[in-house]
Structure 1
C-alpha cells in the first residue's frame, strides 16, 4: 500500500480550511494529491493519517491529567498531586506505556525509549527521570517501597533519555507476586545537577526525598503501567542484590 504524508498546520484541522494529503506513488505512477475540505470526505488512508497526526499533536500539546494516578494510588503513595506541564512518551519497542496498561516483564526487560516533550527555556531546560516500583516486594506488604529501577538526570527537553546522565542503570520489572505498579516520574531541573551521587541501594528509595534534596520541586509529568509475574526465569532474579 502507498504511504501517506499529512501536510498541514494543526489549525487547519479545526477551522474548516482545506487539508492536503500527499500519497507516495507506486512505481510507474505519478504523485497524487488528495484534497479534503468541508464539502468532501477523505479516503481511508488519508483519514488514518489525519487521526495519527492529530493524536500526536494533541498528545504533545496537552499532557494527560493526573486522575489515573490518583485512582491507582500513585498519588499519594509515590508523589504528591501536581499540575502536568509536559508530555512524556515511553515505549518498549512498539508497546506504548499508558496509565494502567498491563505489560509483561519480558516485554519490558530492556530499557525503554523515553522522550520528554518539553521546551528548553531558562526556567526549565533540563529534566530528571525516575522509574520505581512502590509495590515491592508485595502490594500487600511493600516493605521495600520504593524499589528503584532507573534514574537519569540532565535530560534536555525535547530529547530522549539517552541524552541525559544515568545515575542508576535500568533494571527491568520482575514482580514476584501480585500486580505491581511501575511508575515513571519527570521533574524539571533549574540547572545541571553537579556533584549528584547515585543512590547506594535500589530498595527503600524515596522519590519525594530525592526531589527535595536536589531542589526539584513537584513533578511535571508521571505515568505508570502494571505488571505481574510470568512463568519464566526472569522472576528468579527479583531482589537479588548480587545483580546490582
Structure 2
C-alpha cells in the first residue's frame, strides 16, 4: 500500500495484513484498477484476527476531488463500527456504503479499505450518514477517527484505483451531489 503514497498522508503505518475484498465475486488484489460500476455494491470482506473482538471498517478516497487537488481529503465512502470478525453486516453503520465516484477528468483515485480492531464496543459521537447522502463525508480523517476511538494500527487493509465511468452520474443523482459545488 505504501507504493501508492498513503504513508504518512492517510496512514501512519501499513496495515498488519492484506484485507480480502470481493466486489461482485471478483477478488481484489492491492492496486487493481476497478470501474465505478464494478464497485457500486457493498463488497464482501474477510480478515484474520481475534474472533472475540469487534472491528471498525472504513473506506476512504484521499484524492477528492482529484489526486492533484485533494482539498476534500479524505472523502468517506463507508464506516461501520462494532462489527464481529468477517461480519460487517453485524456491525453498526455510521456512514452507508457508496462506491467509487471520481469526477470526470480527474484521473485515477485511490480507494482505501481498512479494518481496525477495537479495544471495546464503541459509541460514536459523529452523526450517521445515509447511503443516499454526500453531506458529512468530505474531510473525514481516518487517522483522527482512529486516535479518537483508540483503534491503533489497522489490522487489515486493501486499496483499489478507479476513475470516472458512465455509472458516476447515476451515483451523483442518487446522492443529490454535484462535485462542482
Q: TM-score, normalised to structure 2's length?
A: 0.84
1:169 aligns with 2:96: yes
C-alpha offsets along residues 48-78 of structure 1, whole Å, 9 cap, x if unaligned?
xxxxxxxxxxxxxxxxxxxxx1110122221
Structure 2 counterpart of 1:131: 59
1:81 aligns with 2:16: no
Q: Which runs of 4+ in 1 moved over 6 A?
A: none
Structure 2 counterpart of 1:14: none
Structure 2 counterpart of 1:235: 169
Q: TM-score, normalised to structure 1's length?
A: 0.64
Q: State the Cα distance separating 1:180 from its structure 2 match.
A: 0.3
Q: State the Cα distance separating 1:90 from its structure 2 match.
A: 1.1
Matches within 5 A, 1:201-220: 201-220=136-155
Structure 2 counterpart of 1:145: 73
Tell me, in whole angstroms, the C-alpha distance in 2 between the residues paired with 1:207 and 1:90. Answer: 19
Q: Is residue 24–residue 41 contact of structure 2 (8 Å, CA) maintained in 1? A: no
CA 1:185–1:233 in structure 2 vs 1: closer, same or farther (change >3 Å)?
Answer: closer
Gaps of 5+ in 2: 129-134
Q: Is residue 183–residue 225 contact of structure 1 (8 Å, CA) maintained in 2? A: yes
By relative contact order (CA 8 Å, sep 6+), the higher-ranking structure is 2
Q: Which has a greater percent of helix?
A: 1
Q: Which has the larger radius of gyration?
A: 1
CA 1:147–1:82 in structure 2 vs 1: closer, same or farther (change >3 Å)?
Answer: same
Q: How many residues align?
A: 169
Structure 2 counterpart of 1:191: 120
Tell me, in whole angstroms, the C-alpha distance in 2 between the residues paired with 1:74 and 1:237. Answer: 26
C-alpha offsets along residues 31-51 of structure 1, whole Å, 9 cap, x if unaligned?
xxxxxxxxxxxxxxxxxxxxx
Q: Secondary structure at the match of 2:2?
A: helix
Q: Is residue 60–residue 74 contact of structure 2 (8 Å, CA) maintained in 1? A: yes
Matches within 5 A, 1:1-244: 69-82=1-14, 84=16, 86-121=17-52, 125-157=53-85, 159-176=86-103, 177-198=106-127, 201-230=136-165, 232-235=166-169, 237-238=171-172, 242=176
Gaps of 5+ in 1: 1-68
